[in-house]
Amino acid sequence: MKRHLLTIATCAVIATASIQVNAVQNDNVNPFLVEYATEFEIPPFDQIKTEHYLPALVAGIEEQNREIEAIVNNPEEPTFENTILALDNSGQTINKVAYVFFALTESMSSPELQKVDEEFTPLLTKHSDEISMNDKLFERIKKVYDGRANHNYTTAQLRLIEDKYKSFTRNGALLDAEKKEELKNLNTELANLYLQFNKNLLSATNAFELVVEDPIKLLGLPASSIAVAAEEAKIRGKEGKWVFTLHAPSRLPLLQYAQNRELRQQMYEGYINLATEGENDNRPIINRIMQVRTKKAALLGFDNYAAYMTDKVMAKTPQAAKELLMKIWEPAIKKVEEEVAEMQSVVKEEGFDFEIAPWDYYYYAEKVRQKKYALDEDEVRQYFAVDNVVKGIFAMAERLYGITFRELPDAPKYHPEVKVYEVLDRDGKHVSVFMTDYFPRESKRQGAWMSEFKGSYIDENGNSIRPIIYNVGNFTKPTAETPSLLTLDEVETAFHEFGHGLHGMLTRAQYRGQAGTNVDRDFVELPSQIHEHWALAPELLQVYALHYQTGEVMPAELIKKLQDASTHNQGFATTELAGAALLDLYWNSTNFDGDVDVAEFEAKVAQELNMPEEVQFRYRSTYFKHIFGSDGYAAGYYTYLWAEVLDADGFELFVQNGIFDPATAKSFLENILEPGGSEDPMKLYIQFRGQEPNPDALLRNRGLLK
């Protein structure tokens, strides 16, 4: 599960009014400063230009400053409506422009956008700090918070009050003036460091190429991977050769299938040494990030940055997160020993005498899988054309939640490969807009994620304002001869991100700050991860797993092989994932007052964990964007496994009742997807499941518990 949920860290969410201030720039209307004239208020991407972002952000900041002043200067006693809700409703224009800007810097990056980002993000950070450290605003919030027991607030209102209060205290509201200024400076520096980390990572990724001139070196690779490499070479002016990149659809098939061991080693070492040299070296950036985080945590009264980050989520402490990970870690590394022994026997059978190295793991794991299960993933891919996978995802959503998807071919889109759909309920009523952007390009960062261009809420007249949600991936590209044929991992990723999408699309939370994925970070992966289980459900495979040439349904014997092999190599997968989560906690649980050797720090963590030599962390620090590219998952990468406890335990209820059981699906919809952050997440889970989650469910799901 290598997915990333992109969240826009602005201090408020979209409001209802529109402004015209500074709407005209150089005789052109700035599209962010007028109402979108498009259907469903989809951003008019063809009208948005680079020069529109900064003026729109400045105008949005001025607008929200006026809104904050109106709250602060209100002569009436602070109430939920005139303070908490008014703040939650402020910042329309900021969010309007930020949604688009951050979406495009992730998916359509360019030197021009990167240049704008050097001003955009620090300006946004500064504005957010000024709001969160506004003494008069906090005074009103505190009065509402202190008096909350004296009012008959709903659960959602109480949570919004408490969340706003905690957000302000966590962002320095209780500091004196001098320390507030220090915190602002630290936040600005962090924003700039994150920008540089991400810029280095994108540049380093795009700079790498593994050029193959001898076709003999390609033995073992699927024809589709060879074709993609040939097309990449042609694009790069190297026609007649083959070029492999670090993007997963290029990197992973080479590691999994290439018979040439030297080629595998070159690719593997290129990946694990990503962003470690020259002007794209992220090691100095990591050191400075950790030094600044150390200062910030101390300033806010926390022992370390991990304590600061986990204080606001279900885990509450880094110790609780680590305890969960260690329960998974020991069974995982024990399973790795078994897997390596099986692979080593294959090496011996082939007449070689080398020891399994990290660059051999994917290759020999695949050999073991073929030997044990006679499962050829290249054969499997023939049944996973991307359009059919999308149909399967939509069929799952229709059977579970009664929604259908109608493509809007003429809707605005930021790239020709984007597809846009209207989502409708059983009565044909509009639910949301959904967009997909599935293929890699140089302007797109690695990974897969979900976000939104418009949030959801209930307006003051009781109208349900519906969202615009999107999924982004980096799946195998189509070639001149074949459509995009997805690997099994890519199929599961598509289901995963669509689960996030459902959380955003189906939300019915009343308040913007609680809608959709605005939930505790270690709860947000539940909807995404639980929907992965349907990817290999025989009932659904029979609907969407169709051979791309013949249209025949995947044979029952091949489906059985997929089921039998579903826990294959889970020692490696779990160790890799849990190792990265533990590395994250080690980084952010340590205080830094000077530089450290990044590779040496990683090695010490691996040694302390007794990490198998054949397995590396899922992400080495220099390209661990989750934790060093922003605060999003800092001290929080563990949440994928934390949420897997929930999803594995929760899916067992579906298995017990039937995976498309209407009553179970209705309960999941009403207790998990619709409420968003309007209720305590554990309470919501228990309402759905009928019990607290059992951690053994995760071990059973991964085949680590016999």
What pLDDT is recorded for position 26? 45
What pLDDT is recorded for position 632? 85
**Average pLDDT estimate for 40-69:** 98
What pLDDT is recorded for position 480? 85
- Residue 15: which pLDDT band, with cuts at 50, 70 and 90? very low
Dump pLDDT digits (tens) for 145-173: 999 999 999 999 999 999 999 999 999 99
Find residue 430's DSSP bridge partners: 424
Find residue 219's DSSP bridge partners: none
Dump pLDDT digits (tens) for 402-449: 999 999 999 999 999 999 999 999 999 999 999 999 999 989 988 899
Dump pLDDT digits (tens) for 295-350: 999 999 999 999 999 998 888 899 999 999 999 999 999 999 999 999 999 999 99
What pLDDT is recorded for position 589? 97
What pLDDT is recorded for position 697? 92
Annotate 446-483 with DSSP letters as a single string: SS-EEEEEE--EE-TTS-EEPPEEEEE--PPPP-SSS-
**Average pLDDT estimate for 450-471:** 96
Is 87:119 a contact under the CB 8 Å cutoff?
Answer: no
**Average pLDDT estimate for 267-294:** 97
Annotate 392-426 with DSSP letters as a single string: HHHHHHHHHH--EEEE-TTS--SSTT-EEEEEE-T
Task: Enter the pTM of the model.
Answer: 0.86
What pLDDT is recorded for position 521? 84
Is 403:423 a contact under the CB 8 Å cutoff?
Answer: yes
* Structural tokens at position 26: 């150089």
Instruction: Look over the chain and give the mean of its residue pLDDT values, rounded to a whole number.
Output: 93
- Residue 27: which pLDDT band, with cuts at 50, 70 and 90? low
Residue 264 has pLDDT above 50, yes or no: yes
What pLDDT is recorded for position 522? 83
Q: What is the DSSP letter of 315?
A: S
**CB hemisphere CA count around 232 (13 angstroms):** 27
**Average pLDDT estimate for 20-25:** 41
Annotate 42-53 with DSSP letters as a single string: ---GGG--GGGH
Residue 647 has pLDDT above 50, yes or no: yes
Nearest to 224 by CA among 3, 392, 380: 380
Residue 453: CB atoms within 10 Å: 23
**Average pLDDT estimate for 76-84:** 98
The catalytic residue positions are: 497
Pick the CATH number of 24-174 from 3.40.50.970, 2.40.30.20, 3.40.50.9100, 1.10.1370.40: 1.10.1370.40
Residues of the chain with CATH 1.10.1370.40: 24-174, 386-564+640-701
CA pair distance 516, 662, nearest whole angstrom: 22
- Residue 378: which pLDDT band, with cuts at 50, 70 and 90? confident
What pLDDT is recorded for position 695? 87
**Average pLDDT estimate for 635-659:** 94
Cα 670 to its chain centre, rounded Å, is: 23
Dump pLDDT digits (tens) for 590-613: 999 999 999 999 999 999 999 999
Domain 386-564+640-701 has CATH 1.20.140.10: no
**Average pLDDT estimate for 207-225:** 95
Angstrom distances, CA of residue 199 to CA of 118, 122, 203, 276, 631: 10, 15, 6, 13, 16
Is 87:94 a contact under the CB 8 Å cutoff?
Answer: no
Residue 13 has pLDDT above 60, yes or no: no
CA pair distance 83, 139, nearest whole angstrom: 10
Dump pLDDT digits (tens) for 553-588: 999 999 999 999 999 999 999 999 999 999 999 999
Dump pLDDT digits (tens) for 664-705: 999 999 999 999 999 999 999 999 999 999 889 999 999 998
CA dihedral sign, ordered 155, 157, 160, 161: negative
